[in-house]
């Protein structure tokens, strides 16, 4: 399904509202003046307040499980607004709430 490409300035968080940022970007391709992000690179998460019975178990990293099927950059799939990721250590998803709205992919 077509969707907007994800870039470094996109608003991404875990379901508990911890802020997620890419560990690496692709500076060779930019959209809206910011580099795009690729599937193999995980996101780090800071500020996750999740706890179980009073013991903190915050989301710390997220690995992408889906990405574009027809667009690659440097041989790696490009992330899009509908890409899915799993957070560690608790297996919850990432939520992409905002990204650029000019470039789409499949």
Q: Interior CA angle at 29 toward 81 and 20, to 5°? A: 40
Domain-located, residue 34 = yes
**Encoding tokens for residue 30?**
């930019």
Q: What is the CATH number of the domain that holds 96?
A: 2.60.200
Which residue has tokens 């690496």? 24
- Per residue in 8-62, pLDDT (tens digit) is 999 999 999 999 999 999 999 999 999 999 999 999 999 999 999 999 999 999 9
Distance of CA 83 to the CA centre of its chain: 7
The answer to whether residues 43 and 91 touch, using CB atoms and an 8 Å cutoff, is no
pTM value is: 0.92
The residue range of the domain holding 17 is 3-101
Domain-located, residue 48 = yes
């Amino acid at each position: 399904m077509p969707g907007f490409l994800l870039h470094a300035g996109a608003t991404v968080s875990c379901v508990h509202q911890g802020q997620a940022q890419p560990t690496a970007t692709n500076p060779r391709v930019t959209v809206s003046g910011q580099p795009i992000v690729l599937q193999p690179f995980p996101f780090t998460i800071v500020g996750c307040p999740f706890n179980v019975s009073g013991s903190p178990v915050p989301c710390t990293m997220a690995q992408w499980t889906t990405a574009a099927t027809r667009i690659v950059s440097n041989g790696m799939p490009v992330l899009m607004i509908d890409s899915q990721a799993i957070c560690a250590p608790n297996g919850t998803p990432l939520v992409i709430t905002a990204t650029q709205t000019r470039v789409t992919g499949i």
